[in-house]
Amino acid sequence: MNRTPTYVAVLATALVLSVGGALGLAGGAPTDSGATTGPAATPAVAPAGTSQSLDETITALQDRLRRLPEDDSAWATLALAYVEQARLTGDPSYYPKAEQAVATSLDLRPGGNVAAHSSAAALAAARHDFDEALGEADRALAIAPRDGNALAVRVDALTELGRYAEQERAVRRADRLQPGLPVAARYSYVEELRGDLTGATRVLERSLASASMADRAFLSTQIAELERRRGLLGRAERSLAEARRAGPDYFAAEVSRARLAVAQGDLTVAERRWAGVVRRVPLPEYLLELGEIQLVRGRTAAADQQFSVIRTTTRLFDASGVNTDLETAIFEADHGSPARALRMARAEWSARQSIHVADALAWALHVNGRDAKALELSRRATRLGTQEARLWMHRGLIEAALGRAAEARRHLRRGLAADPGVSPWQAAQARDALQRLDR
Amino acid sequence: MRTHPSVSRRSVALTVTGGLLAAAGMAGIGPSGAAASSHREAPLIAGAPQYDTTDVYAFRSPDRQDTITLIANWLPFSEPAGGPNFYQFATDARYNIKIDNDGDARPDVTYRWTFKDNYRSRDTFLYNNGPVTTLNDENLNYYQTYRLTQIRDGREQVLVRNRIVVPSDVGEGSMPDYEALREQGTTNVGTGNSRLQSFAGQAEDPFFLDLRVFDLLYGGDLSEAGDDTLAGFNVNSVALQVPQRMLADGRDAEDNPIIGVWSTTDRRGVNGRYRQVSRLGMPLVNEVVIPVRDKDRFNASNPRRDAQFLDYVTKPELPKVVEAVYDFEAPKEPRNDLVSVFLTGLEGLNQPEGVRPSEQLRLNMSTPVTDDPDRLGAVAGDAQGFPNGRRLGDDVLDIALQASQGVLLGPDQDPESGDDNLGDGVDVNDVAFGDAFPYLGLPARGSDDAPHDEAQMNRAGAAGSADNGAGWLPSFGDGSGISSQVVPATALGLGLVALFAGVAGMVRRPARRTRSIA
């Protein structure tokens, strides 16, 4: 499940401008997870020798603030840098720092402080508080209607709140007011959510034509994600090679390479790559992918180790004010406590009704034996026609439990076809169910 | 010569502009605040330097006086050692220089550049595969070509098509004779006195200033300043030298010599339509006059509707800041004196008849070219300088700051001491400008070990104007040919300066003034 990191990413990125103009948000690398967030962000990683590392940026800002502690916009910028840093490192302890920097900026300039509200919106979204993100984005836009960052975060917030009609209007408006890669990336995600992977790819490819090197790593990676899900593994591999040329250590590309190894059926390589991903950014959704591959390969003890790290990490996120209920609910449903899964999914559902939350709640209801209610939610989760493996597998499994064999077969097949890079443990559940149906 | 070991130029570049402009691909940061030079404009644009106009220049060509040279720059803070990260123009953008030749705030002539990428081999991301000795060299693997279109009276005419953009100077090994490439990059269109010259490519950023001067907005202190913080950074430029009559209303430059110039960048959206995302005419307006919250709005705006920004000119923020920092009382508002500087042009110098106020860089094409340009331009009595157009060497920042010196220093200032002048301590660009088109300095080289250190070598002493009155009452010298054109002191001196120091009617109190020590 690609929620947390992605979101973090999203925001960070969304708000973060990189010099190459790379900003990105990106269509969420939809993963197989039931909980993909939209845009995944682009850490603008530039070719060696040109990139100014985020650390250096943060140090420069801190130096400036020691000299000029009243520079409200530098405080707001620093907040954004911390949000981005949290995303790149997976270390949530940057969020409280970001919060403090935003507060300082607002103290210095309480009125008309676009940058602070923009950064606050990014921070809230990174912490999955999408109501707050929407509120802050709207506050920024009330002051500066063309603020690109706020326009972008607003789209993200509406997406995660499950307000899809508004999401579409917001993205068109953003494109009218502030065209650019951040908007294009979200535009692509709008199409992807509605099941149009070809259209989503086309938007990204158009952006690629005028993208800086830094943006290319991000765009090529997103294109590779879409190509893999369309079953075009050779093309996905080429796109990832492009991404490597453009940004040799671009993190999102590593995640995509791990999924590609799964799609190519090489679980040895896949496990090695996922382990590399986790070493770099130990987020729960990545740990879950690694653990599930290890389960499939019969390495139960290793898998248990990942799962216990997930529990620890989750506690850490909670302490930093990051809401991880959605990720945790799905993890608990499959590998932990069904009761806790349901509690968390319900809590999240009361806050927002996106398709991914609907899916998490459906699945939590199912593992608690509440299949009729689960089907209702699962239908909501698939209502946009989103081509994500887990949404359809869950629906098929729930239908199978209800004895609706024909629908179950159709949806399980659809789920298995949706993404060959989906977690092999998840795919195995779906395949076993299909076999039982066909017996 | 002072250096500031504690503050690296790079970190200044990074933070002053807030926009983290440095190298492409840096995980940059968005909104940031202080007014800085155009090198940090609207938050969004700051993150998209390919679309961000940094400066516009318009001047009568010293070596072909029947022509005007127009220059616009994008992509500030391009590090010379860009490695494989070349600095290219965007291919989904239209780069425009617009001319209003009748004062109605509508563009009458538009020059539009569009760019395409070309690869000799798609198998490599390398910029070049060996030494590049000509623009058509096979070793130049990646290059851009441009098309230049003139739009006038609703008709589009392609002036230049498919010409090569002079590539980034990646260094000694790859481009042993970069100057030759620069020369090949100038395209001639037409012949005789209707000949145009066109250039697109990389140049050293001609703007020179110490960005830290803007720190005073945050209680910073000018004694820190004195380095050209843009030294050794490159930009991407387009330059066009065009006969005056092509720009003039009715093609009559004699009767209609005053033009207004500004640059815009349009960017294509997902929906296929182009939107204006950057606008720049007069220097410093976008960064000093327009508050941060309105920068995106200004960047998307059109001069016809500049009345919406009027309050920022008549009630500027900066004098209030200066008042707080330097203890000078800000002049009374509304500041109608500023209106002529920023919105209408100066009466008798470069104000078109019946002008509709709008922010443009206004140039009187008939003002004679001086052999001895003064970096302080019209303020120092050199009528051919800023704000009558803008030459590459015009010290626009000091024109604003220095003009206030007489007041800041009081009548008892010792005229012999040149180093008490308020300014940013940077009086010249770190590299020389050329004496023929395109005039721009050659870019800092990718092979240069320390491209940003040259400023230290070239910093001029604080050559304040010798006559303290000069900043106030421009006396156009003999041969200026416009003795009849009296530039109102309030307009110039006050206009520009007041923005910074709020000079008009200023009451001097014991000031916490700092010096810029050269």
Q: What is the tens place of the pLDDT at every residue in B503-512?
A: 322 222 333 3
Find the residue in A nearest to B24 (Cα): A20
pLDDT band at B11; cut points 50, 70, 90: very low
| Minimal C-alpha gap between A285 and chain B (Å) | 24
User: How many structural domains is chain B composed of?
Assistant: 1
The type of residue at B432 is A
Distances (CA, A) of A11 to A117, A133, A235, A350, B207: 13, 10, 28, 23, 34
Tell whether B331 is covered by a domain: yes
Chain A residues touching B22 at Cβ < 8 A: 19, 52
d(CA A155, CA B308): 29
**Quick check: A22 and B90 CB within 8 A?**
no
* Interchain contact B33–A (C-beta under 8 A): yes
Lowest mean pLDDT among A306-310, B19-23, B495-499: B19-23
Tell the burial category of A321 from Cβ atoms under 10 Å away from its Cβ (0-12, 13-18, 19+): middle
> What average pLDDT does this structure show over A201-227?
85
Q: What is the pLDDT of residues B200-253, one digit of tens each?
A: 999 988 877 666 666 666 666 555 556 666 667 888 999 999 999 999 999 999
pLDDT band at A278; cut points 50, 70, 90: very high
For CA atoms B497, B500, B504, B509, the dihedral sign is: negative
Q: What is the pLDDT of residues B148-205, one digit of tens each?
A: 999 998 899 999 999 999 988 888 888 889 999 999 999 999 998 889 999 999 998 8
* pLDDT value for B217: 60
| Cβ partners under 8 Å of residue A15, min gap 6 | A80, A83, A84, A118, A119, A121, A122, A149, A152, A153, B29, B30
Extended strands (E) in A84-231 = none
- Answer whether residue A126 shows pLDDT above 50: yes
**Quick check: A179 and B24 CB within 8 A?**
no
Tell whether B449 is covered by a domain: no
Find the residue in A nearest to B21 (Cα): A19
Chain A residues touching B7 at Cβ < 8 A: 63, 67
Chain B residues touching A206 at Cβ < 8 A: 92, 270
> What average pLDDT does this structure show over A82-89?
77
Find the residue in A nearest to B47 (Cα): A17
Most distant CA atoms of chain B, gap in Å: 70
Q: What is the pLDDT of residues B368-426, one digit of tens each?
A: 999 889 888 877 788 899 889 999 988 887 765 544 332 333 333 333 334 344 567 67
d(CA B357, CA B344): 5
Tell whether B68 is covered by a domain: yes
Location of structure tokens 């939107």: B275
Q: What is the pLDDT of residues A43-60, one digit of tens each?
A: 222 222 223 456 777 888
Cβ contact A317:A343 at 8 Å: no
Cβ contact B474:B487 at 8 Å: yes
**Quick check: B275 and A179 CB within 8 A?**
yes
> What average pLDDT does this structure show over B62-70?
96
- Answer whether residue B496 shows pLDDT above 50: no
Angle between helix A233-246 and A213-229 (nearest 10): 160
Distances (CA, A) of A224 to B69, B186, B270: 47, 41, 20
* Interchain contact B43–A (C-beta under 8 A): yes
d(CA B268, CA A175): 9
Find the residue in B nearest to A71 (Cα): B218
Distances (CA, A) of A312 to A1, A254, A336, B200: 17, 24, 14, 57
3-state secondary structure of A37: coil
For CA atoms A212, A213, A214, A217, the dihedral sign is: positive
| Cβ partners under 8 Å of residue A345, min gap 6 | A325, A326, A329, A333, A357, A360, A361, A363, A364, A365
Find the residue in B nearest to A215 (Cα): B25
Of all residues in chain B, the percent with pLDDT exceeding 90 is: 36
**Quick check: B28 and A48 CB within 8 A?**
no
- Answer whether residue A32 shows pLDDT above 80: no
**Quick check: A50 and B270 CB within 8 A?**
no
User: Which structural domain range is residue B255 located in?
Assistant: 50-431
Cβ contact B489:B316 at 8 Å: no
Angle at B488 between CA B485 and CA B493, to 5 degrees: 125
Q: What is the pLDDT of residues B289-339, one digit of tens each?
A: 788 788 889 999 999 999 999 888 888 776 666 666 666 666 677 777 677
Location of structure tokens 């050329």: B434
Cβ contact B516:B509 at 8 Å: no
Domains detected in chain A: 51-176 (1.25.40.10), 179-264 (1.25.40.10), 353-438 (1.25.40.10)
pTM reported for the whole predicted model: 0.80
DSSP B343: I
Cβ contact A132:A352 at 8 Å: no
d(CA B255, CA B77): 41
Tell whether B307 is covered by a domain: yes
| Minimal C-alpha gap between B70 and chain A (Å) | 26
**Quick check: B32 and A43 CB within 8 A?**
no
Cis status of the peptide bond prior to B43, with omega within 30 of 0: no
Which tokens sit at A13? 């990125």
For CA atoms A70, A72, A73, A74, the dihedral sign is: positive
Location of structure tokens 């100077």: B169
Lowest mean pLDDT among A149-158, A372-381, B12-21: B12-21
* pLDDT value for A6: 30
d(CA A113, CA A75): 11
Q: What is the pLDDT of residues B99-109, one digit of tens each?
A: 999 999 999 99
- Answer whether residue A132 shows pLDDT above 90: yes
pLDDT band at A212; cut points 50, 70, 90: low
Lowest mean pLDDT among A11-25, A242-256, A270-284, B390-404: A11-25
Cis status of the peptide bond prior to B334, with omega within 30 of 0: yes
Location of structure tokens 């977690």: A423
- Name the residue facing A50 among B19, B83, B218 (closest C-beta): B83
The type of residue at B494 is L
DSSP B365: T
Determine if residue B51 is left, alpha or beta; phi over 0 gives left, psi from -120 to 50 gives alpha, anything else beta. alpha
Tell whether B313 is covered by a domain: yes
3-state secondary structure of A161: coil
d(CA A73, CA A82): 14
Q: What is the pLDDT of residues B430-465, one digit of tens each?
A: 777 888 999 999 888 877 766 665 433 332 222 222
Angle at A21 between CA A117 and CA A126, to 5 degrees: 40
Tell whether B264 is covered by a domain: yes
* pLDDT value for B494: 33
What are the backbone dihedrals phi and psi of residue B441, each rounded to the nearest 5 degrees, phi first? Answer: -70, 150
- Which three-class secondary structure string do you get for A119-146? HHHHHHHHCCCHHHHHHHHHHHHHHCCC
| Cβ partners under 8 Å of residue A302, min gap 6 | A291, A294
Distances (CA, A) of B210 to A210, A260, A291, B424, B450: 32, 50, 54, 6, 18
Cβ contact B233:B429 at 8 Å: no
d(CA B454, CA B456): 5
Of all residues in chain A, the percent with pLDDT exceeding 90 is: 62
DSSP B310: H
Q: What is the pLDDT of residues A388-438, one digit of tens each?
A: 999 999 999 999 999 999 999 999 999 999 999 999 999 999 999 999 998
The distance of Cα A268 from the centroid of its chain, to the nearest Å, equals 25
The total number of residues written for chain B in this structure: 518
Tell whether B411 is covered by a domain: yes
Compare B480 and B42 and report the one with higher pLDDT.
B480
- Name the residue facing A73 among B32, B269, B296 (closest C-beta): B32
The total number of residues written for chain A in this structure: 439
- Answer whether residue A215 shows pLDDT above 60: yes
User: Average per-residue pLDDT in chain B?
Assistant: 72
Chain B residues touching A60 at Cβ < 8 A: 10-11, 14-15
Cβ contact B109:B261 at 8 Å: no
d(CA B18, CA A71): 10
- Which three-class secondary structure string do you get for B151-185? EECCEEEEEEEEEECECCCCCCCCCCCHHHHHHHC
User: Average per-residue pLDDT in chain A?
Assistant: 84
Which tokens sit at A60? 């420069």
**Quick check: B218 and A23 CB within 8 A?**
no
- Answer whether residue A40 shows pLDDT above 60: no
The Cβ-side half-sphere exposure at A21, using a 13 Å CA radius, reads: 32
- Answer whether residue A232 shows pLDDT above 60: yes
Tell whether B25 is covered by a domain: no
Residue B171 has a CB neighbour count (10 Å cut-off) of 17
Cβ contact B85:A50 at 8 Å: yes
